[in-house]
Homo-oligomer: A and B are copies of this chain.
Amino acid sequence: MELITALKWRYATKKMNGQPVPQDKVDAILEATYLAPTSSGLQPYEVIVITNDALKENIREVANNQSQITDSSHLLVFAAWDNYTAERINDVFLHTTTERGLPSNAMDDYKNRLIAAYTSRSAQENFEHAARQAYIGFGMAIAAAAVLEVDATPMEGFNNSALDKLLDLEAKGLKSVTLLPLGYRDASNDWLVNLKKVRKPKEAFISVIS
């Protein structure tokens, strides 16, 4: 489906029917996220794909009992770095220079400026910045799902620390930020599906200075 048409078609699905999303579509949604730009290319977040039913049940319990979590076939968890560290930044640049066939110190000036800037900020400030990057990829995943006519429900309403514990994220230096269950709408049981999609008057959202 064409992007704008797809964005009009999509909605925050409230009731899914349990039908599984084919793996090739899940892969394409993940690919869009993977390709999403991030600040300085650091990709300071990860995506965890959960298909395990028991784990989805446990997550549903810490996510306001939202049924899409267990009625989706794939639950994506977006989890951001809890901090930027010199080690993490060094790892990214070593990978980048290797992939580009450059000497490992070829980007050192830029890298060292980044390390100096990030390590002078608080962990909380850095986490907020990493979380913002995750939201770009989150947006790409939502767009890609819609284009493929896969339903998805963007979710922030869950107990982040409880989810972090369930997924042992602290040990990985990550903190959960959003959830995206993927599945298919159960149109006959979804109270939202037939309500008009409402956005602000366009002139309240977009202004032009010419």
**Chain A interfacial positions (CB closer than 8 Å to B):** 3-4, 7-8, 10, 12, 28, 30-32, 34-37, 39, 41, 43, 46-52, 55, 92, 95-96, 99-100, 128, 131-133, 135-140, 142-144, 147, 154, 156, 167, 177, 195-202, 204-210
Contact = CB atoms under 8 A, between A and B. Distances in A.
9 contacts: A4-B32, A7-B35, A41-B198, A49-B207, A50-B209, A132-B135, A132-B177, A135-B135, A167-B209
A96 B198 CA distance: 6
Nearest to A100: B196
A199 to B, nearest CB: 6
A36 to B, nearest CB: 6
Contacts of A167: 209
Contacts of A177: 132
A160 to B, nearest CB: 13
A129 to B, nearest CB: 8
Nearest to A38: B154
A48 B92 contact: no
Contacts of A204: 46
